[in-house]
Amino acid sequence: MDGVPAPLRCFRECHSAEMFVDDGVETVTSVEQKKVEHNIEEVLSVYKQMHSLPQPTLLREQHYQYLKKGLRHLSDAYECLDASRPWLCFWILHSLELLEEPIPSAIASDVCQFLARCQSPTGGFAGGPGQHAHLAPTYAAVNALCIIGTEEAYNVIDREKLLDFLWSVKQPDGSFVMHIGGEVDVRSAYCAASVASLTNILTPKLFEDTINWIVRCQNWEGGLSGVPGLEAHGGYTFCGTAALVILGKEHMLDLKALMRWVVSRQMRFEGGFQGRCNKLVDGCYSFWQAGLLPLLHRALSREGETELSQQRWMFEQQALQEYILLFCQNPAGGLVDKLGKSRDFYHTCYCLSGLSIAQHFGNTDLHQELILGKEENKLAPTHPVYNICPEKVAQALEYFYRLPVPEDHRQPGAAAEDRPSDSAAASGSADCHT
């Protein structure tokens, strides 16, 4: 059965470019914005000539071939991502799970062995073998291993040392640096909370003061910035909000102001999202921004602020699907930021993740689908906190929550060798989780 027809034009009330021009003065961004809108109009007019009833199609087979190849061979263009190799594993594996394409067991095992080589002897994962541990590839590696979801995959993670690493990047004010000697921003709090919760090493002490630090990142715009006092941005807003959801404290944000900010980031003409006010649409914000709506919906329904019977997220789900399917697909496979840009695995992962959010409303209890185009366009649902499929989250939690939480006597910024000896630690309580 076919899904709903495309909402061509009905969402497109006005050209955003007009709003980017202040008193007739053009800026670099307003000129770029006009180009984006021109490109969209051109593609739309060709599309309308070819199709009387618009039915955008997800190019499943092309995306599958592009992703499958990427697991074994990367072009020279990826040399610059030599310090982000676990990310490439996550982006590709998550895209494949959204497309419901199984990962052959030999490839899954090779990925496990590769990620094991990225694990630092002092805990956490690095961007590549022999590099220093960093929170971003640690998040990507743990997510990739949870997607694989085998005993071999789970066993790669040294949880005791992972906790050492998290403490080594914890700061006295509650924030985290991305790596020892590195920068602080709210991505790190999310990466730390995500891996700690998935692998059952989350202790209240580890996130002491983190909640207040994240809440300080929400600014007058309603969204969150990377550190307190800067401009709100979708990437950081997602990270801060999802971290607070993991820590059970999302209601400490001004949720209504956040809702107003994020829904205003959906572009009226393009249908996709921008990352921050007065900037351009980009396919990857289909997840970083639209992914906030399930988090907000849950938080606001708990506070009795949204109708539980509501059947839609509070953004134009069809318009976002249209943006991704009509303007972000490379005909040879892979997805892009915007028309005219090259495909890459990051945008493939986050465009597909956003498409999945826009297609599935609710959770396993109450589930409503809104599929633009044919039913074959339907992707698997994604978990809005971790961005891996919900069954894989449940399976990982089931596995790791059978294991005890490691003893935690560590201090912010402490190196692994500063930890009390194992025998001293072992004299304490065996399991502080309960």
Ligand X SMILES: CC(C)=CCC/C(C)=C/CC/C(C)=C/COP(=O)(O)OP(=O)(O)O
List C-alpha distances in Å: 151 to 103, 148, 155, 162, 388. Answer: 15, 9, 6, 18, 18
Q: Among residues 12, 134, 233, 338, which is the contact residue for ligand X, using CB under 6 A? A: 233
Position with the least CB separation from ligand X? 235
276 is catalytic: yes
Letter string b/e over residues 17-50, b meaning 16 or more CB atoms within 10 A of that residue's CB:
beebeeeeeeeeebeebbebbeebeeebeeeeee
Is residue 125 within 8 A of residue 137, CB to CB? The reply is yes
Q: Which does 103 bind (CB under 5 to 8 A by kind): ligand X, Zn ion, none?
A: none
Which of 12, 94, 187, 216 contacts ligand X by CB under 6 A? 187
158 belongs to the catalytic site:
no
Give the single-character DSSP code of 207: T
Instruction: Determine, following the binding rule CB under 6 A, whether residue 85 of this chain makes contact with ligand X.
Output: no
Confirm or reject binding of residue 282 to Zn ion (CB under 5 A): yes
Residue 267 touching ligand X (CB under 6 A): no
Q: Report how far Cα 191 is from the mean position of its chain's Cα atoms.
A: 10
- The span of 45-53, 231-239, 251-259, 356-364 binding ligand X (CB under 6 A) equals 231-239
CA–CA gap between residue 376 and residue 190 (Å, rounded): 33
Partner in contact with 337, chosen from Zn ion, ligand X, none, beta carbon below 5 to 8 Å by kind: Zn ion
Binding test (CB under 5 A) with Zn ion, winner from 185, 322, 337, 407: 337
- Distance between CA 206 and CA 203 in Å, rounded? 5
> What is the Rg, in whole angstroms, of the alpha carbon atoms belonging to the chain?
22
Q: Is 344 a catalytic residue?
A: yes
Closest CA to 290 of 310, 269, 311, 319: 319
DSSP 280-312: -B-TTHHHHTTTHHHHHHHHHHHTT-S-TT--S
Closer residue to ligand X, CB minimum distance, 274 or 321? 274
Q: How far is CA 341 from CA 67, 92, 314, 327, 337, in A?
A: 18, 19, 29, 10, 6
Q: Which stretch binds Zn ion (CB under 5 A): 86-94, 196-204, 257-265, 337-345?
A: 337-345
Sequence letter at residue 119: Q
**Cβ atoms of 392 and 93 closer than 8 Å:** no
Whole-angstrom distance, CA of residue 98 vs CA of residue 296: 22
CB of 336 vs Zn ion, minimal distance in Å: 9
* Span from 93-101, 110-118, 187-195, 353-361 in contact with ligand X (CB under 6 A): 187-195
> Does the annotation count 279 as an active-site position?
yes
Q: Is 78 a catalytic residue?
A: no
233 an active-site residue?
yes
**Interface region with ligand X, contact rule CB under 6 A, candidates 119-127, 160-168, 186-194, 416-424:** 186-194
Q: Which of 139, 190, 285, 350 is catalytic?
A: 285
Neighbours of 356 (CB within 10 A): 25
* Separation between Cα atoms, residue 422 and residue 419, nearest integer Å: 8
Q: Do the beta carbons of residue 372 and residue 320 sit within 8 Å?
A: no
Q: With CB under 6 A as the rule, give the number of residues binding ligand X.
A: 14
Residues 275-294 interacting with ligand X (rule: CB under 6 A) = 275-276, 279, 282, 288
Active site residue 341: no
Q: Between residues 12 and 187, which has the closer beta carbon with respect to ligand X?
A: 187
Q: Stretches 91-99, 220-228, 278-286, 304-312: which one binds Zn ion (CB under 5 A)?
A: 278-286
The mark string for 134-173 relative to ligand X (x by CB under 6 A, - otherwise) is: --x--x----------------------------------
HSE at residue 35, side-chain half, CA atoms within 13 A, is: 13
Which one of residues 284, 299, 300, 396 is an interface residue with Zn ion (CB under 5 A)?
A: 284
In the complex, the smallest distance separating the C-beta of residue 226 from ligand X, rounded to whole angstroms, is 6
Q: Catalytic site residue 409?
A: no
* Residue placing its CB nearer to ligand X in the complex, 176 or 288: 288
Is 23 one of the catalytic residues?
A: no
Active site residues: 233, 276, 279, 282, 284-285, 337, 344, 347
Residues lying near Zn ion in the complex (CB under 5 A) are found at 282, 284, 337
